[in-house]
Structure 1
Amino acid sequence: MTAMRLLLLGKSGRLGRSLLASRSQQRSLDPRSVCLYAPDRQACDLAQTPTAPTADSPLQQTLATFKPTHIINAAAYTAVDRAETEPALAHTLNCAVPNCLAHYAAASGAYLIHYSTDYVFDGSGTDAWPETAHCAVDQALSVYGRTKAAGDQTLLNSPAVVLILRSGWLFGHTGPDFVKTVLRLAHQAPPLKIVNDQWGTPTPTQWLAHLTWEALSAHWQGRPWPARLYHCSARGETTWYDYACWILDCAHQGGWPLQHRAGDIIGIGSDAAGRLAQRPRNARLDCRRLDALNLVTPNLQRPDWRQAVAACVQDLNGDLID
């Protein structure tokens, strides 16, 4: 068997860093059988990707030169509020890039793994969203959600062999996220005001990274996952407000020197948050399709969100890392 030629895009992002950090822990995919290329922005500027693939774009040149057999696209425009003022760039990264990758994968037979978000839904109702839920581009509430939905549709309509892992409320040991934001704000004197009417599930990037390596390994070994789209979140559900309270409870149990406790947090409605982009109030994801795969390895089973957050706060050990 020839070596896998794996192209990883977005290595410096929150999920990209978790993918690189967890690669050595992947037992079912021998690192010696993988030729990994993870270019940075200087080597492959994805912002220069045109809507219609052209041979002279940095991404096309990277694909033509490296000739990957497998691709993990962890690159995306994820600054939800800033996307409202930079819609063209958000479209480039969230739709044009997947379109370019889909064309390459369809022509070459490469296997493409891509990530989606709960923001593609309009947030209505209280039931968790299944993979079969209608997901129109104009249904999403924000530029970020609409561009990600457009990217999803491009891939799902492509003849390429594609796997989309849809998740949300990601946090991890590296990079900025809600856990570290709350811990930083808890060092300051003003009271914390956190939205209490948006529901979802905090999900660790480390787990999603392990899941990605397992899916990649399964395809490499000739046992690909049967569906093209999986919802992937931790177990349980919460609001941003209760999530913040749990973070501070965990930090105080760990001896963090914070100015605030959970009882000091003020819950506010979405309309009072003053955010530029609208967020879905119901971001729950139905993960029964993933559960049906029966992935029994401990680091692949869906974690309880509370336990995962507690472990993350403990691992930070009082340090607010970037």
Structure 2
Amino acid sequence: MSRLAVLVPGGSGQLGKDLSAVGAERDAAVRAPGSAELDVTSPGAVLEGVSQLVDQARAEGRVPVVINAAAYTAVDAAEEDEHRAFAVNADGPRVLAAVCASRRVPLLHVSTDYVFGGDGDVPYEPDTPPGPRTAYGRTKAAGEDAVLGSGARAWIVRTAWVYGVGGGNFVRTMARLASEGANPSVVDDQRGSPTWTADLASGLLELASAVTGGTAPERRVLHCTGGGETTWYEFARAVFEELGADPDRVSPCTTAEYPRPAPRPAYSVLSNAAWREAGLTPLRPWREALSAFAADPRSALVGS
């Protein structure tokens, strides 16, 4: 297995933190700068960052790879600031891919279920034509196109319903409401696959090892999410159960009862079949992963 040197733009986010943690367990040298340290929209900053990665890999006898976790993920705010979202989600990946191509460094680019319209009823395959309905989805789809058309040795990895240590996410919000004695109403007509960032990080590093070790998948677009599917309502009940709170305190509601500036996809389930066919390890079932996250001391769910 290749000894990796990994650069993770967007490293201060929850996925970046888990890429650092999981990478340390696997003898991968991970550098995970936040946007203040490495702005993906700045060609100079990206060139410097990738060049340092290549130099580090050469000095330490490692193989360089970039995993792009940088993204503008404020879905509702993007409706009012699509220009900024486009800069981070489309221009940034374009810059990264160009530099990776010039330095011959493989690139794994993390994308989202929002590139689809969310009106399906069977899991989306990687080759399903995108049809985003939000500014966030449009900018992420544009980022995918930029990466795939760059000439870089690059792979797109779409994921969904991500949660992890740090930052705001659904699990931490539900844990806070449970600890405060709240009785939340949660939408029960949107389906997806919750994905713990530690599991996603493990999958991305496995893919990075395959790419740098001579067993790269032929498909350039893959899906990687937690196993199975659920609704936000059922997911919320599971969080309450993990904390020993009464899940019946959570009540279901419809999307129409909880309007948001950006329309949420009703169906966000991504097929992991191509991931398995590539010989990569499927992520564990979402409910099992949630239990592991709740038991992880880093999650600090109590008092969230």
TM superposition score normalised by structure 1: 0.84
Q: Which SS does the other structure have where 2:151 is aligned?
A: coil
**Alignment partner, residue 313 of structure 1:** 294
Residue-by-residue CA offset, 1:101-126 (whole Å, 9 max, x unaligned): 12112222210011010011001121
C-alpha deviation, 1:294, in angstroms: 3.5
Which whole-Å CA distance do the structure 2 matches of 1:125 and 1:160 have between them?
31
Which whole-Å CA distance do the structure 1 matches of 2:120 and 2:36 have between them?
43
Contact 1:119 1:140 survives alignment (8 Å): yes
Residue 13 in 1 paired to residue 13 in 2?
A: yes
Which whole-Å CA distance do the structure 1 matches of 2:243 and 2:5 have between them?
42
Change (3 A) 1:223 1:249: same
2:251 to 254, 266, 277: 266
C-alpha deviation, 1:282, in angstroms: 0.6
2:94 to 90, 99, 122: 99
**Alignment partner, residue 132 of structure 2:** 140
Q: Which SS does the other structure have where 2:243 is aligned?
A: helix
Which whole-Å CA distance do the structure 2 matches of 1:147 and 1:88 have between them?
9
Contact 2:112 2:159 survives alignment (8 Å): yes
Which whole-Å CA distance do the structure 1 matches of 2:36 and 2:268 have between them?
35
1:88 to 83, 90, 101: 83
Change (3 A) 1:223 1:294: closer
C-alpha deviation, 1:167, in angstroms: 0.6
Q: Which SS does the other structure have where 1:176 is aligned?
A: coil
Which whole-Å CA distance do the structure 1 matches of 2:147 and 2:190 have between them?
28
Change (3 A) 1:167 1:318: closer
**Alignment partner, residue 164 of structure 2:** 172
Gaps of 5+ in 1: 253-257
Contact 2:12 2:32 survives alignment (8 Å): no
Gaps of 5+ in 2: 56-63
Residue-by-residue CA offset, 1:118-137 (whole Å, 9 max, x unaligned): 011001121110011011xx
C-alpha deviation, 1:190, in angstroms: 4.5
Contact 2:224 2:282 survives alignment (8 Å): no
Change (3 A) 1:98 1:292: same
**Alignment partner, residue 262 of structure 2:** 277
Q: Which amino acid in the other structure matches residue 87 of structure 1?
A: E
Q: Which SS does the other structure have where 2:8 is aligned?
A: strand
Change (3 A) 1:218 1:262: same
**Alignment partner, residue 24 of structure 1:** 24
Which whole-Å CA distance do the structure 2 matches of 1:3 and 1:305 have between them?
29
Which whole-Å CA distance do the structure 2 matches of 1:70 and 1:229 have between them?
17
Q: Which moves more between the two structures, 166-175 or 73-82? A: 166-175
**Alignment partner, residue 38 of structure 1:** 32
C-alpha deviation, 1:318, in angstroms: 5.1
**Alignment partner, residue 60 of structure 2:** none
Change (3 A) 1:194 1:233: same
2:272 to 278, 287, 290: 287
> Number of aligned pairs?
293
Residue 155 in 1 paired to residue 140 in 2?
A: no
Change (3 A) 1:224 1:89: same
Change (3 A) 1:127 1:3: closer
Which whole-Å CA distance do the structure 1 matches of 2:118 and 2:272 have between them?
17
Percent identity (aligned): 33
Residue 59 in 1 paired to residue 40 in 2?
A: no
Which whole-Å CA distance do the structure 1 matches of 2:185 and 2:222 have between them?
33
Q: Which amino acid in the other structure matches residue 187 of structure 1?
A: S
C-alpha deviation, 1:264, in angstroms: 2.1
Q: Which SS does the other structure have where 1:70 is aligned?
A: strand
* Structure 1 segments of 4+ aligned residues over 6 angstroms from their partners: none
Q: Which SS does the other structure have where 2:75 is aligned?
A: coil
